[in-house]
Amino acid sequence: MPTEFEFISALTKRHGLKRIGDDCAVLPQNSETDLVVTADMLVENVDFRLDWSSPRSLGHKALAVSLSDIAAMGAVPEWAMVSIAVPDDLWNSGSLDQFYEGWLALAREYGVELVGGDISSTGGPLIIDSIVGGIVPRGKAILRSGASPGNSIYVTGTLGGAAGGLKLLEASHSSEPSAAEIIQRQLEPRPQLTIAKTLQTLGFATSMIDVSDGLSSDLGHVCSSSGVGALIYADSLPVDPNLTAHFGPDERLEMALNGGEDFELLFTCRETALSLADTVRATHIGEITATLGVIELVHGGKSSVLKPKGYRHF
Amino acid sequence: MPTEFEFISALTKRHGLKRIGDDCAVLPQNSETDLVVTADMLVENVDFRLDWSSPRSLGHKALAVSLSDIAAMGAVPEWAMVSIAVPDDLWNSGSLDQFYEGWLALAREYGVELVGGDISSTGGPLIIDSIVGGIVPRGKAILRSGASPGNSIYVTGTLGGAAGGLKLLEASHSSEPSAAEIIQRQLEPRPQLTIAKTLQTLGFATSMIDVSDGLSSDLGHVCSSSGVGALIYADSLPVDPNLTAHFGPDERLEMALNGGEDFELLFTCRETALSLADTVRATHIGEITATLGVIELVHGGKSSVLKPKGYRHF
């Protein structure tokens, strides 16, 4: 059986689907702007658990994951739809109101309007499909495919926190005071829309993706879309400092490389680290190379090939 | 507990969500056109059964229901996304390819481009969210809210066929030769995009909706959105002639009134039946009245109040 990435790749090739394969599809809107659209499905007991997440947090996260895709294009979100398949017991609990409260609270922060969607009953788990539309100056969306050998690789914020939060939830260690911040990163991620807009305006990012599957996977997507490879310095990775109280150094590095769901932005650019640091808070973590599809990890003076890990449905 | 209609109505009022409540949301696109967007969720064993529908037919239907929403605005579809939560056994069967084949075959008919979506695994039933975007001349979308007392009510095509097809499937009578046409209406509905475009261009439809929930429900939506009532002539209803071989007259009328999923267009206009008949193939079935929210059914010389029936999830 193919993985979902192989399935999508085969489908798009077979049918010549040219707008599939980035965080959002880019469509012409008018002479000044392009429309960007994205859809993300969240499945109970696959992407979230209702005993860990309040309905309000889940509403926040459902929107946040799609806003993060809009950010990854350097775009600004404008409108959204939510489709939701609801088990009877959840409908009868009345907690769907709180789901929408959490969704709308985040939407208001970024001026996003709820314009539609669907509500259905289901005999199975709760499923949410989150659809967001946004705009970007025409022809200026930041794609996965623009990285070139010699470009520097940057990441915003910190990595591994969301994965660490998930581990603590799984181990029922979520009540420890020092756990709050990384559990928050897992349950209520923040889309990096402000820095995305700055990067788009500055115009020097050659490629961008959000860190949703995990750095190794997401950098892998950039490399395959751009036809390049990469070199990552393990010592430069901005590992979430809140992990230190709970995990050893090897586990922290593993989380930063493969954890996923941090919803930070990974981007490449031509400028040197120094010139970037003046305008954008991001960490220089490596370089783009010409070795197609190979990501090399430099760690403790040694170099090894980093395989894309992160979560896969199939 | 509220019905889903009551829940959505309360949510939109509480949060001032102005673009919710029609077949599609209408958003400004450029100086000449508006963007219309819609999302429809289909849940296995609620909206379809895999022992009745081939993956290919299901792909067709998943797109058709959303194209029908685009038609109901008088719009033209342009792009679409599909999000799908797939049980492991279905993924391993390889039949997802056929789902997309059916989807893409219908998409090609109407020049619709697949631009994105999501694929997830699920421990529960197969769930599909179908998202379509389209365009309509600026300010010219045909809304549910434009009907006025004295307007004539029309419906395209025939009614009750899809409901009859469903009954035959439920009764395992699907192999009878005379059943093929109405079973096809249930499993592979046709969106009425061509007549929708004609109606939009002619400009005389005051309101429109697609018959997805059932005539009584959908006319009810038009009446509540427009602040009007309606009078329907039972003898004028274009009951699907293919029902005659399988169902008695009362059952046929019931299917035409409440059956749903015919995906025909129900619209109102100022012109008389005669002038309409020259340009558009549709049947004059009644009149809009001033009695807010009341639909009167005239049948065999008697008049009764028609309650919205059709399918409800909650």
* Tens-digit pLDDT profile for residues B196-215: 999 999 998 999 999 999 99
Q: Kindly tell me if the per-residue pLDDT of B114 is higher than 70.
A: yes
Closest to A42 measured CA to CA, from A138, A135, A162, A130: A130
Mean pLDDT of A144-151: 97
Quick check: B129 and A4 CB within 8 A?
no
Q: What is the pLDDT of residue A275?
A: 72
Mean pLDDT of B31-46: 97
Phi, psi of A233, deg, nearest 5: -95, 110
| B96 vs A contacts (CB less than 8 Å) | 7
Contacts of B98 (CB under 8 A, 6+ apart): B54, B55, B56, B59
B20 part of contact set with chain A, CB < 8 Å? yes
Mean pLDDT of B105-134: 97
Phi, psi of A89, deg, nearest 5: -65, -35
Q: Residue B91: helix, strand or coil by DSSP?
A: helix
Write the residue in A8, A45, A114 that is nearest to B119 by C-beta. A8
Q: What is the pLDDT of residue B277?
A: 67
Q: Kindly tell me if the per-residue pLDDT of A217 is higher than 90.
A: yes
Q: What is the pLDDT of residue B311?
A: 73
**Which stretches of chain B are DSSP H helices?**
4-14, 55-72, 88-93, 96-109, 161-170, 180-187, 193-202, 215-226, 249-258, 273-277
* B48-64 residues labelled b (16+ CB within 10 A) or e (exposed): beeebbebbbbbbbbbb
A241 CA to chain B: closest CA distance, Å? 31
A57 CA to chain B: closest CA distance, Å? 18
Q: Kindly tell me if the per-residue pLDDT of A273 is higher than 70.
A: no
Q: Cα–Cα distance between B73 and B107 in angstroms, integer? A: 18
pLDDT band at B313 (very low <50, low <70, confident <90, very high): confident
* B121-137 residues labelled b (16+ CB within 10 A) or e (exposed): bbebbbbbbbbbbbbbe
Mean pLDDT of A218-229: 97
Q: Cα–Cα distance between B101 and A111 in angstroms, integer? A: 38
Q: Cα–Cα distance between B63 and B134 in angstroms, integer? A: 13
Quick check: A121 and B81 CB within 8 A?
no
CB neighbour class for A18 (10 Å; exposed up to 12, middle 13-18, buried from 19): exposed
Does the interface ipTM go beyond 0.90? yes
| B129 vs A contacts (CB less than 8 Å) | 39, 41, 83, 118, 129, 131
Pair of tokens at residue A215: 């750095």
Closest to B82 measured CA to CA, from B99, B94, B57: B99
Q: Cα–Cα distance between B185 and A202 in angstroms, integer? A: 54
Q: What is the pLDDT of residue B205?
A: 95
Quick check: B116 and A37 CB within 8 A?
yes
Phi, psi of B179, deg, nearest 5: -85, -15
Mean pLDDT of A256-260: 95
B1 CA to chain A: closest CA distance, Å? 6
Closest to A119 measured CA to CA, from B1, B263, B156, B220: B1
Quick check: A314 and B122 CB within 8 A?
no
pLDDT band at B273 (very low <50, low <70, confident <90, very high): low
B30 CA to chain A: closest CA distance, Å? 5
Phi, psi of B112, deg, nearest 5: -95, 135
Mean pLDDT of B59-73: 98
Pair of tokens at residue A222: 């950039």
Quick check: B35 and A29 CB within 8 A?
yes
Write the DSSP symbol of residue A65. H
pTM exceeds 0.90 for this model: yes
Quick check: A39 and B129 CB within 8 A?
yes
Mean pLDDT of B102-124: 97
A311 part of contact set with chain B, CB < 8 Å? no
Write the residue in B30, B97, B114 that is nearest to A29 by C-beta. B30
Write the residue in A20, A30, A114 that is nearest to B115 by C-beta. A20
CA nearest B23 in A: which residue? A116
Of the CA atoms within 13 Å of residue A48, those in its CB half-sphere come to 26
A143 part of contact set with chain B, CB < 8 Å? no
Q: What is the pLDDT of residue A314?
A: 83
Quick check: B96 and A24 CB within 8 A?
no
A75 CA to chain B: closest CA distance, Å? 16
Q: Kindly tell me if the per-residue pLDDT of B274 is higher than 70.
A: no
CA nearest B30 in A: which residue? A30
In the numeric block, the tokens 């979100």 are attached to: A77
In the numeric block, the tokens 């680290």 are attached to: A273
A17 CA to chain B: closest CA distance, Å? 7
Write the residue in A43, A117, A133 that is nearest to B85 by C-beta. A43
* Tens-digit pLDDT profile for residues B277-291: 677 889 999 999 999
Q: What is the pLDDT of residue A53?
A: 95
B8 part of contact set with chain A, CB < 8 Å? yes
Q: What percent of chain B has pLDDT over 70?
A: 98
Q: CB–CB of B121/B181 below 8 Å?
A: no
Q: Kindly tell me if the per-residue pLDDT of A4 is higher than 90.
A: no
Q: Cα–Cα distance between B244 and A69 in angstroms, integer? A: 52
* Tens-digit pLDDT profile for residues B120-154: 999 999 999 999 999 999 999 999 999 999 999 99
Q: What percent of chain A has pLDDT over 70?
A: 98
Q: What is the pLDDT of residue B304?
A: 96
Quick check: B123 and A46 CB within 8 A?
yes
Q: What is the pLDDT of residue A274?
A: 60
Mean pLDDT score across all residues of chain A: 94
Quick check: B127 and A11 CB within 8 A?
no
Mean pLDDT of A197-220: 95
Q: What is the pLDDT of residue A173?
A: 76
Quick check: B314 and A121 CB within 8 A?
yes
DSSP 3-state percent helix, strand, coil across chain B (nearest 5): 35, 30, 35
Pair of tokens at residue A122: 């289901």
